[in-house]
Amino acid sequence: MQKPSKVLSKFSEKEQDLAGLISSISDRSESALSSFYDYTSRWVFGLALRILADVAEAEEVTLEVYMQVWDKAVDYDPKRSTPSAWLLMLTRSRAIDRLRSNAKRNHMEESLETDPSNSIAEPEEAILFVEKSRIIQNALSKLTPQQRKSIELAYFYGLTQTEISSRLGQPLGTVKSWIRLGMIRLREILSSFDEIR
């Protein structure tokens, strides 16, 4: 991260302090991240709550934002924005991503409930459908949290691997690995159930 003194001198004292913390975070200082969180988390949570209108969702987004700060501090450029503007831009982006993902999930759930083509005509089919769903959910629960989350985002919410990488704040190669290993494990688990084959 660059810290041109001319640029920083235009910042308020508070913003200069935050820029210093971001610089330390980019050097992997956990105490700097902790201080940065203490100074700014109320802004992040407040904005996330305003966008999402849900306390639990806002709390999750707040944690995701600080994970992203840890990963992206090295990319912060004081010539482009103040530290607080940069942080709130990250928050807004994360919260809107969450909002879109929730809207997509709700739409898919509504489609399944209302689309006649998805209805199951025979009781035997209904029982088989429920049993298959239970088996798949059970198999997913045996994956690592990262594998499960990546697969759910890809196959249930239709996100691309690049979108998943951005959403989880992880390198694309890591996400691809989680999905590949998770799918291998799922195949192993599900291969013992004749009705799923």
CATH number at residue 46: 1.10.1740.10
pLDDT tens digits, one per residue of 30-85:
999 999 999 999 889 888 888 888 888 889 899 999 999 999 999 999 988 899 99
Instruction: Establish if 196 belongs to a structural domain.
Output: no
C-alpha distances in Å from residue 191, one per residue of 138, 182, 184 = 13, 14, 11
pLDDT tops 80 at residue 88? yes
The CA distance from 134 to 40, in Å, is 42
The last residue of one of the domains, among 41, 70, 99, is 99
pLDDT tops 50 at residue 111? no
The CA distance from 52 to 143, in Å, is 29
Number of domains comprising the chain: 2
| Cβ contact 1:15 at 8 Å | no
The CA distance from 145 to 1, in Å, is 32
38 and 95 assigned to the same domain: yes
The CA distance from 38 to 35, in Å, is 5
Instruction: Establish if 108 belongs to a structural domain.
Output: no
| 0.75 exceeded by pTM | no
